[in-house]
Amino acid sequence: MAKKSKPSKAKPKSKPAKKSKPAQKTKPAPKAAAKKPAAAPKAAPLPEKRLRMGLLGCGGIANAHIKSLIQIPEYDVVAYCDVVRANAERFQKEYGKGHGTVYEDYRVMFEQAKLDAVTICMPPFAHKDEVMLAAERGIHILIEKPIALTNELAGQMAAAVQKAGVKSQVGFHMRFMKGIERVKELLASKGPAIQYVGRYFCNSLHSPWWRMKDKSGGQIVEQIIHQFDLCRYLLGKPVQVFAYTANLAHRDVENYTVEDVSGTLIRFETGALGIITGTNCAIPGKWLAPSTLVAKGFTVDWGGGSGEITITDGKELKTEPFETGGSPNLGEHLDLLHAILKNRATRTPIGEGAETQKLVIAAYQSAETGKPVDL
Ligand SMILES: NC(=O)c1ccc[n+]([C@@H]2O[C@H](COP(=O)([O-])OP(=O)(O)OC[C@H]3O[C@@H](n4cnc5c(N)ncnc54)[C@H](O)[C@@H]3O)[C@@H](O)[C@H]2O)c1
């Protein structure tokens, strides 16, 4: 078994694990073990041992995940897996300081590493049976978006997680901006939502697989999906979608088969509208995703790390800042951890990933047929 690493010196957002009773895998701790001073009544019960975390896919976004994971003392990152062994080795050396085992095949990692949880950061085309295999072994899962390229695979993943009863979280980090919690509260007290306008503007060729539609799924599926998911999270059940897509500025770029401009209109069950636009022809080096939500009693604008909420249902307009809060990536990991420890749901279980997947795939169906698609 791998040697234990020292907890990170970075300031943890949750409390370090204390040793109390004998190890129990990942079930919520018994009441006696959860007893704590009154000062921290909301903290999750502490695990009786550090939870063994594996990292599957050690590329670009995995850097953000490992930086979050090493801030969480309850996790011990014990396994790094990548088909390119050198990528996993770099992570084990740089972030694990030599602690943890390197794997090239996730099947072997799941068999040997005795994981409690896994963080999956593979590119869209690589998703196959890893979620099913992890779930069967009782391993909790954080998986980057998009969870799959087809509704069939996304549905199988969600079914496997449900059957196994493991916790799951999809990396829709925009749900973890602090201001979104406030917007949810306001929707409950002053709603309903009327219209959501979201943009996703960038200008980059990204990884080589990104520009190939059969590998990434396209800009909507791979990237703008963040806006589709947040729109769903705030506006409820979508019932119809209509989209246009085109490749206008990248026709001479080799293997560039994804769109570089898109516009999508979504009608929700309530009658509210979502309008989502995206392009890969905006400002090089910048990823801009501003949004506006108009509800009956308030309007909120955010983007670029700030924003403002305007309350419109009083005699006078009142404003308050839209807070982006701390690292949304750390937030999604802590939410999964607390779901495991308290045996509660996460904010974005994998079934949510499958629902948002249906929406983005329907947007492409609409763009291909030129007709609205019912959901
Ligand atoms: N939440 C976000 O904001 C965000 C940001 C960037 C990327 N992502 C998502 O994260 C995923 C990964 O993106 P990336 O930019 O890190 O890609 P990347 O190409 O930089 O890294 C992917 C890694 O996975 C490895 N890999 C591929 N197939 C594998 C397999 N079968 N087994 C093990 N390892 C395998 C690759 O060798 C590579 O090291 C994508 O789905 C992407 O959409 C999310």
Q: Residues 184-195: pLDDT tens digits?
A: 999 999 999 999
Residue 201 sits in a domain whose CATH number is: 3.30.360.10
Which pLDDT score, from 0 to 100, does residue 324 have? 86
How far apart are alpha carbons 131 and 141 in whole angstroms?
8
Check pocket membership of 218 for ligand 1, CB cut-off 6 A.
no
331 domain residue, yes or no:
no
How far apart are alpha carbons 81 and 59 in whole angstroms?
10
Nearest CA to ligand 1 atom 30: 83
Check pocket membership of 64 for ligand 1, CB cut-off 6 A.
no
Ligand 1 centroid to Cα of residue 284, in Å, is 21
48 domain residue, yes or no:
no
Which pLDDT score, from 0 to 100, does residue 45 have? 62
pLDDT in tens, 19-28: 333 333 443 4
102 domain residue, yes or no:
no
Nearest CA to ligand 1 atom 7: 61
Ligand 1 centroid to Cα of residue 165, in Å, is 26
273 domain residue, yes or no:
yes
Share of the chain above pLDDT 90, in %: 85
90 domain residue, yes or no:
no
Angle CA 120–122–127, to nearest 5: 95
**pTM for the structure as a whole:** 0.89
Which pLDDT score, from 0 to 100, does residue 44 have? 58
242 domain residue, yes or no:
yes
| Structural domain count of the chain | 1
Residue 160 pLDDT > 60:
yes
44 domain residue, yes or no:
no
How far apart are alpha carbons 333 and 141 in whole angstroms?
10
Confidence of residue 48 (pLDDT cuts 50, 70, 90): confident
138 domain residue, yes or no:
no
Q: What per-residue string of b and e applies to 104-126 under the rule 16 or more CB within 10 Å gives b?
A: eebeebbeebebbbbbbbbbbeb
Ligand 1 centroid to Cα of residue 283, in Å, is 23
Pocket test for ligand 1, best of 55, 58, 61 (most atoms within 8 A of CB): 61
Domain span holding position 208: 175-325+350-374
Ligand 1 centroid to Cα of residue 294, in Å, is 34
Residue 213 pLDDT > 80:
yes
Nearest CA to ligand 1 atom 28: 126
